[in-house]
A = this chain, B = another copy of it.
Amino acid sequence: MTREPAPAQSTALLTDQYELTMVEAALASGAAHRRCVFEVFTRHLPPGRRYGVVAGTGRMLEGLTEFRFGPAEIDWLDDRGIVDGPTLEFLADYRFSGDIHGYAEGEVFMPHSPVLRVEASFAEACLLETYVLSVLNHDSAIASAASRMTVAAGDRPCVEMGSRRTQEFSAVASARAAAVAGFTATSNLEAGRRWGLPTIGTAAHSFTLLHDSEQEAFEAQVKAFGPGTTLLVDTYDVFTAVRRAAEIAGPELGAVRLDSGDLVEQAGEVRALLDSLGNTGTKIIVSSDLDEHAIARLQAAPVDSYGVGTKVVTGAGSPTAAMVYKLVERTDDDGAPVAVAKNAAGKKSVGGVKHPLRSFGEDARAEAELIGVGSAPETEGAPTRELMVPLVLGGEVQAQHIGEEGVVRARRRHAASLAELPAAAKRLQEGEPVLPTIFS
């Protein structure tokens, strides 16, 4: 039944069963072919956060081309009796042929920002719901947390090294999302391979413990990687280790890493010791359970870069962005568009296609998220910027959003969007969303 060879790794079963059963029932009722508009948005930011960061768009588009039901998927659905024969035929032929617009990856968002708009038949667009949300909810949660960390770190680089504290493929995605939010490198090799991200890493405590002494371990590492390597100095006594590291590697020692204890105090003492030993060029990297608040405290200490693990890959307390994918418009039997919305308690939504613009004040800072329902928003003459960009047109993924280029563009977009926000956006303490969302 398939027109094209099945993808090597289908993404089409990375979904909730009801997306397929809805297609079955809608094919039977005839409504499956109604033209629909679904929008992705969140009702609220995580508690106290002032902005969110759209991420995962490129990754979602990369997987979209593999969102096809090959013979293996069709056979399994058939064996299990998940959907009926006509639906299996529809799925075997499925290839998304509609349009997707969205906030450019890296863009900041507010509650109710329509970060993605999917336009296609009900059947085509409905099938993507779970997959699209999984990617965007995860990656946006990570990028939103990561952005607060890079803001806190100012000019000091943040490096992502949390792979072990999240699922193995979430780790790959997290490295990418952190890069969108300004992290300069990752420890994750698969992320390096897929998107060309710079990767880093030298040694763990086990390398020191493996050898008969710290002396032998340091000598082995310097011999293998040269004096410019980073030596981990807290396996036993930090100050003994720093003296030893400087002696073995000499003034060219690249860096020492501190991974435990009171980092603020230690960094100052280690800096003084390094300087007294003539290692004025040796950097200090810290990496013990850092989050944006710990980074902010460390800004006063002589630290050169931050290795961030658990807290970035788990979204610093908010591991999901709480985005939803809602039908806002569909055609009727005459092909005329009808705005639709549910009325469920506490989960009301606003029907109709949303047209967002960001408006700017006299200081050229962003002032509001203006959202027109069904048509362009009222701007009252304020300067504005378009937020929606085409991501998929007639089923064709726009190539600049995927692969390495996608990450580079997203990272640039994020930096530019952040720079436009009012200064309050960069405060770490809890607050309200930094831009009001105004519907018109």
Contact = CB atoms under 8 A, between A and B. Distances in A.
Interface of A: 9, 11, 13-22, 24-26, 28-29, 31, 34, 36, 38, 63, 73, 76-77, 80, 82, 122, 126, 129-131, 133-135, 137-139, 161, 163-173, 187-190, 192-193, 199-212, 216, 219-221, 223-225, 234-237, 259-262, 288, 310, 313-315, 319-320, 322, 325-327, 330, 332-333, 340-347
B13 A131 contact: no
Contacts of A224: 21, 24-25, 28-29
A331 to B, nearest CB: 10
Contacts of A237: 343
Residue among A26, A167, A219, A260 with most chain B CB within 10 A: A167
A164 B133 CA distance: 5
A225 B20 CA distance: 13
A348 B333 CA distance: 70
B342 A131 contact: no
B168 A206 contact: no
Nearest first, the 4 A-B pairs at minimum CB distance are: A17-B201, A18-B201, A29-B220, A261-B345
Given A126-B206, A206-B22, A223 B28 contact: yes
A220 B28 CA distance: 7
A285 to B, nearest CB: 12
Contacts of A13: 189-190, 193
A69 to B, nearest CB: 11
Given A17-B200, A221-B25, A137 B164 contact: yes
Contacts of A138: 166-168, 170
A164 B134 contact: yes
A338 to B, nearest CB: 8
A16 B159 CA distance: 12
Contacts of A200: 17
Contacts of A219: 29
27 contacts: A9-B9, A13-B193, A14-B172, A15-B188, A16-B161, A17-B199, A17-B200, A21-B201, A25-B225, A26-B210, A28-B223, A29-B216, A29-B223, A31-B210, A76-B193, A82-B199, A129-B204, A130-B171, A134-B165, A135-B168, A167-B173, A170-B170, A205-B326, A209-B330, A234-B345, A235-B344, A314-B320
Contact of A236 (B172, B333, B342): B342
Contact of A199 (B80, B202, B211, B342): B80
A134 B25 CA distance: 39
B343 A210 contact: no
Contacts of A129: 164, 204, 206
B172 A209 contact: no
Contacts of A20: 189, 201
Contacts of A326: 205-206
A210 B168 contact: no
Contacts of A322: 165, 310
A273 to B, nearest CB: 17
A131 B190 CA distance: 12
Contacts of A325: 164
Contacts of A202: 18, 21-22
Question: Which of A16, A31, A206, A261 has the largest number of chain B CB atoms within 10 A?
Answer: A206
Nearest to A188: B16
A164 B132 CA distance: 8
A64 to B, nearest CB: 12
A169 B138 CA distance: 11
A188 B333 CA distance: 33
A85 to B, nearest CB: 13
A400 to B, nearest CB: 23
Nearest to A165: B320
